[in-house]
Chain A
Amino acid sequence: MTPLSSITKASPHRSVDRWGLAVFLIAAIVCIPLGVVLSSLFTVHDEVWTHLVETTLSHVLINTFFLTLGVAIGTSLIGVGLAWLTAATDFPGRRFFDWALMLPMAIPSYVTAFVAIGLLDFTGSIQTMLRAAFGKHLPWFPEIRSTGGVILVMTLTLYPYVYLLARNAFLSQGRLALEAAQSLGHGRWSGFFRVALPMARPWIVGGVMLALMETLSDFGAVSIFNYDTFATAIYQAWFGFFSISAASQLASLLVLLVFVLLLIEQRVTARVRYTTDVRGADHGIRIKLGSVHQGLALSFASLVFSIAFLIPVLQLLIWSYAIVKEDLDLRYLGYLGHSLSLAAMAALLTVSAVLVLVYAKRLHNTAVLRWLVRFATLGYALPGSVLAVGVFIPLAWFDNQLITLFKSPVILKGTLLAMLLAYLVRFLTVAHNPAESAIKRISQHIDESARNLGCSGVDMLRRVHLPMMKGGVLTAFVLVFVDVMKEMPITLMTRPFGWDTLAIRIYEMTSEGEWERAALPAIAIVLAGLLPIFFLMRDPEKKF
């Protein structure tokens, strides 16, 4: 045994420093882009910026306002309505819709967007068909390329956030409160509005806030609609006017907006406890609907499922079938290979970083470390377009230092590293949640046993924790993998030359209106997107 005299007084703290340093580095990687973007709020406006303010800013603000308002209303109506029907009532097919209504999450909003335009545009198949039937001039047809159209598409892809959380709330509050209300003379409707809905409010608001954050960060769908929002304005400032400073000023405004939502979300969901007994609660007595109401419930659920999932997927299949022979060639191997390898690298990097975070916090649960972890997991609030700017600026600065100081030929911007860092920042939170809940399930006595038996540090992570949190780590990996495959703005703005992915192919084809050619890569992405939903269904208590 080592005599105590060989241990210096400082040694118990040395290991804290090593893990603390790693966590600090990760937190810094997240905070630097954020800081860079926010700091541009205080820098002098240049000409491009003045031009932006005069021309597009008010336009962008108005668009953003109507879009978020519309999506908030749309997702809460559809999400809460469907959640109530599947959680508290019974109608034919209810078990199927329980999970099927989550499937639209697998379709990125830009895919739904181009399918909607391809179908409903003037030259789209539906109007063409109607014209063929009723003559050359239709008296009226809703214009899909409109604010309403964008809102509809975003609502259809984002309502599952609200649906999932509200459903969880309705299931966990059980029938008891509702029955108590009924025994006090409230009818079915007044029971819903006066008991169930207020009780579920924190979950619902949380879900809507998540949906709105996604709306603000969306790039693909709004650019297909040519609907100018911050995300597209940032891209235009950077790649259209070549003004990175204007881009970062727009980004800083967007960050402020997102932080307002984040603040509301955290305020509201601080009190939310996710139930672990969803399946048990499911055995409660459901409200018996009359046959007319059953029919209405079934129609509503089927309608949403059809237009949000079934029709888009069928349309993608039809388009793909039409062009698969002429379009599917070796280039696709490249797109797919790039998508898969980027997703795998990013997932590996992110999961490793997350393991450092959760394990360091477990070993040394100090206030400083907890704060660092909170900072490190802020990234999901940062829209991809903001991150692209936030990562580019410091790396460009770093490159300049390298060049002037060392005449170094190494350049970081526009490399895979820059791209992976941006993915890391964006998706760290996504991976953190499952990993954190997996490590929390391990009893502290397990650590103490291992240490008694002479095993500690990295060795203990490898031999004890990692095998025990296998499921959570795998979930984290899959979630990040799929999110990276779907990701568009970061990939578009930071990819190294020649690194075109499936998502980039979709962007390029849709910007030329080639819906059929965009369908083929879209199918691959939707298939990948189905994976985490099956994970989610296996563990209904887990958040995405």
Chain B
Amino acid sequence: MIIELIHVSKYYPQSTSPAAFDISLKVKKGEILALLGPSGSGKTTVLRLIAGFESPDEGTILLKENEVSQPGVSLPPERRGVGMVFQDYALFPHLTVERNISFGLIHMSHDDRKKKVSDILALVGLSDYRNRYPHELSGGQQQRVALGRALAPDPAVILLDEPFSSLDPDMCVRMREDVSSILRETGSTAILVTHDHEEAFSMADKVALLNNGRLEQHGTPENIYHTPLTPFAADFVGKADFIPGVVQGDKLMTEIGCLENKTQFTEGDEVMVMIRPDDIDLRPEEEGEAIILDRQFRGSENHYRVRLSSGQIVHSSQHSVAVYPNGLKVDLQIQMTHIVAFDKKEMDAYLD
């Protein structure tokens, strides 16, 4: 393990709820972990605990099997060997690209340092910009310098704090790809903080979903998307509708049909079944009981809002060319690979 958090908690004096509570996580060598959550969920706190800018009030943090943080004792950040890429890049404005990258290599011999800087410049594709100053670079180039600077001292782990949030959307997608491939190429272990589940899914091997300072779920992106453990997880990582249902025998009876009960619930339990828009197919049908309310065209797909006869509203994503008028009566076809249901009371509590 490169990083291990064991029951780590952090409280801030001015706040009543903990910034991070009882968090346990492991990150393997070469793994990219995304800390995903809404603002105030504690994801940045966890990152700063790992970097050593904060020290935990409870719990232990191990870095390469060595204890680096315990309550009251903390190895200072400058002695941890952890790289960090900041949201605003925090490049040194008075240094050229080359000298920004060599900043952390002060203990190397001159020749080693020169070689390392050239390698890094080539890696991040900025060999031609080595003598530029940060303000002479574009946002994406600055981001690359920040990444190169953090990678240069061969840190045990690279921490990325919302690294793409100050880029415009097109640039953001490109940089995700570039940064991913650089991290993979160097075999780096990385932890990425983001509030965007698409970013987390597309870049990370594992996702740690945080909410109110607590670890909600930790698993692969697929795992979290298809089998969320809590209503929050289901709701945060993509569009989801929740439909009431009752367990009868080995079936889950709902308004949209009988589903196989592969859940932990038993006879008579009232549940809410999670349905993602890609689980629902629409077929125009004059006798259909559902009505199309409206459509959003999203380029690669059409996103429909559909009203069931009970008044329940569900969403469905259809092909880019499947265009139906508003008010059309349709039949729903349900194709669910994973059946996820939550206790009705738990769901009501969440929705409150």
- A contact residues vs B (CB 8 Å cutoff): 1-5, 7, 9, 12, 443, 445-446, 448-456, 463-464, 467-468, 470
Stretch at the interface among B65-73, B175-183, B200-208: B65-73
A455 to B, closest residue via Cβ: B78
CA distance A463 to B81 in the complex (A): 19
Q: Is A453 a contact partner of B153 (Cβ separation < 8 A)? A: yes
**Contact among A449, A455, A463 for B90, CB-based, below 8 A:** A449
Q: Is A467 a contact partner of B86 (Cβ separation < 8 A)? A: no
B73: chain A residues at CB < 8 Å are: 4, 7, 9, 12
Q: How many residues of B contact A (CB 8 A)?
A: 38
A463: chain B residues at CB < 8 Å are: 103
Q: Which of A1, A12, A443 has the most CB of B within 10 A?
A: A1
Known: A1-B63, A468-B92. A449 touches B86 (CB 8 A): yes
Known: A448-B86, A449-B90, A464-B92. A455 touches B103 (CB 8 A): yes
Q: Is A448 a contact partner of B51 (Cβ separation < 8 A)? A: yes
Closest 5 CB pairs of A and B: A453-B104, A445-B90, A456-B78, A4-B67, A451-B77
B72: chain A residues at CB < 8 Å are: 9
A445: chain B residues at CB < 8 Å are: 86-88, 90
B76: chain A residues at CB < 8 Å are: 12, 451, 456
CA distance A446 to B84 in the complex (A): 11
CA distance A443 to B90 in the complex (A): 7
A-B contact sample (4 more), CB < 8 A, given A451-B76, A464-B92, A468-B93: A449-B84, A449-B90, A451-B78, A454-B106
CA distance A4 to B74 in the complex (A): 7
B81-97: CB near A (< 8 Å → 1, else 0) gives 11110111011111000
Interface of A: prevailing SS: helix
Q: Is A448 a contact partner of B66 (Cβ separation < 8 A)? A: no
B159-194: CB near A (< 8 Å → 1, else 0) gives 000000000000000000000000000000000000
CA distance A134 to B198 in the complex (A): 95
CA distance A7 to B75 in the complex (A): 7
Smallest CB–CB gap between B325 and chain A, Å?
A: 52
**Contact among B86, B90, B153 for A454, CB-based, below 8 A:** B153
B297 sits at the interface (CB 8 A): no
Smallest CB–CB gap between B190 and chain A, Å?
A: 14
- B contact residues vs A (CB 8 Å cutoff): 51, 53, 63-64, 66-70, 72-84, 86-88, 90-94, 103-104, 106-107, 149-150, 153, 155
Q: Is A2 a contact partner of B77 (Cβ separation < 8 A)? A: no
Q: Is B75 a contact partner of A2 (Cβ separation < 8 A)? A: yes
Smallest CB–CB gap between B150 and chain A, Å?
A: 7
A448: chain B residues at CB < 8 Å are: 51, 53, 77, 84, 86, 90
Known: A1-B63, A468-B94. A452 touches B77 (CB 8 A): yes
Q: Which of B77, B84, B104 has the most CB of A within 10 A?
A: B77
B55 to A, closest residue via Cβ: A12
A466 to B, closest residue via Cβ: B94
CA distance A453 to B88 in the complex (A): 17
A467: chain B residues at CB < 8 Å are: 94
CA distance A467 to B96 in the complex (A): 13
CA distance A7 to B68 in the complex (A): 10
Q: Is A454 a contact partner of B68 (Cβ separation < 8 A)? A: no
B104 to A, closest residue via Cβ: A453
A1: chain B residues at CB < 8 Å are: 63-64, 66, 68, 75, 79-81
A451: chain B residues at CB < 8 Å are: 53, 76-78
Smallest CB–CB gap between A285 and chain B, Å?
A: 34
Q: Is B92 a contact partner of A452 (Cβ separation < 8 A)? A: no
B104: chain A residues at CB < 8 Å are: 452-455
Q: Is B83 a contact partner of A452 (Cβ separation < 8 A)? A: yes
A448 to B, closest residue via Cβ: B53
A446 to B, closest residue via Cβ: B90
B51 to A, closest residue via Cβ: A452
A463 to B, closest residue via Cβ: B103
B83: chain A residues at CB < 8 Å are: 452-453
B87: chain A residues at CB < 8 Å are: 445
CA distance A443 to B134 in the complex (A): 15
B69: chain A residues at CB < 8 Å are: 4
Smallest CB–CB gap between B167 and chain A, Å?
A: 17
26 contacts between A and B (CB under 8 A): A1-B63, A1-B64, A1-B68, A2-B75, A4-B70, A448-B51, A448-B53, A448-B77, A451-B53, A451-B77, A452-B51, A452-B77, A452-B80, A454-B79, A454-B81, A454-B107, A454-B153, A455-B78, A455-B103, A455-B104, A456-B76, A456-B78, A463-B103, A468-B92, A468-B94, A470-B94
